[in-house]
Structure 1
Amino acid sequence: MKKFNTLLEAVEFAVTRCNSWSFATSNDNYDVKGLLVLAETSDSENPMDEDSFYVVSPAGAIGLCEDGEDIYWLFLTGSSTDEDLPTTLQTASQIKFCSKCGKEIILGAGFCGACGAKLN
């Protein structure tokens, strides 16, 4: 799971994983352009404090970590429903994902069980 200091940085990374999101607590939907505009506006109007950061899941869901531990998922992808999104950063660091397909992998495995990619 990658960390980002601004929502715009998180969105720029998330768009490499998917192309549409829904807001976690409503039915608002966003495409790439809409989420980029929202992120730029949010960053300029509400800058993050130094202890907070954003995270992006392997499938492209975007979460906010205000206390360095708890993750509040803000933007979900269509595949987020299949993804086991962690609620804490500690849990997230224990889960390993394939860098090619984003699926959870078995610790110690040499290849991804979903796509067959060689794992580091």
Structure 2
Amino acid sequence: MEQFNTLLKAAEYAVTRCGSFRFATSDEKYDRKSLMAIAEVSDAENPADEDSFYVVSPGGAIGFCEDGEDIDWLFLTNSSIDEDLPTALQTASQIKFCPKCGSGVIPSARFCGACGAALQGLKRFSIHD
């Protein structure tokens, strides 16, 4: 899980993971270009304070962490429907992800439940990695 100080930086990273997004609380859909435009306007009109930041899941979903703990998911991807998105940053730091498809995996799993890739030697990803 990656952290960013602005929504624009988070969106720039997220579009490398996915090409289409939807707003978490509605059916509005966004492509890469429209997501970038929304992020730029949002940062100009409502910048995050110094204790807040954005996170991007391995699948490309974008969330906002206002208190340094709880994650409010803003933009979801088609793959994030199947992705186990954490609701808290503490939970996110304990999740392991498949290096092939980015799906969350069970810590003791030997194979990814989504794509079947072998998970031997898979390390836990920390939000600080």
After TM superposition, the score normalised by the length of structure 1 is: 0.89
- C-alpha change, 1:108 and 1:26, in structure 2 (3 Å) is closer
Which residue matches 2:51? Answer: 51
Question: 2-side partners of 1:117 and 1:90: how far apart?
Answer: 22
* 1:15-94 pair list within 5 angstroms: 15-94=15-94
After TM superposition, the score normalised by the length of structure 2 is: 0.83
Structure 1 residue runs of 4 or more that deviate by more than 3 Å after TM superposition: 105-109, 116-120
Q: How many residues align?
A: 119
1:105 maps to 2:105: yes
Q: What whole-Å deviation, never above 9, does each CA across 1:62-100 have from its counterpart, x for those lacking one?
A: 000000000000001111111111100001111111233
Aligned-CA RMSD value: 1.7
- Aligned residues of 2:84 and 2:103 also touching (Cα < 8 A): no
Question: 1-side partners of 2:5 and 2:17: how far apart?
Answer: 19
Which residue matches 2:96? Answer: 96
Secondary structure (helix, strand or coil) at the match of 1:59 reads coil
- Aligned residues of 2:52 and 2:65 also touching (Cα < 8 A): yes
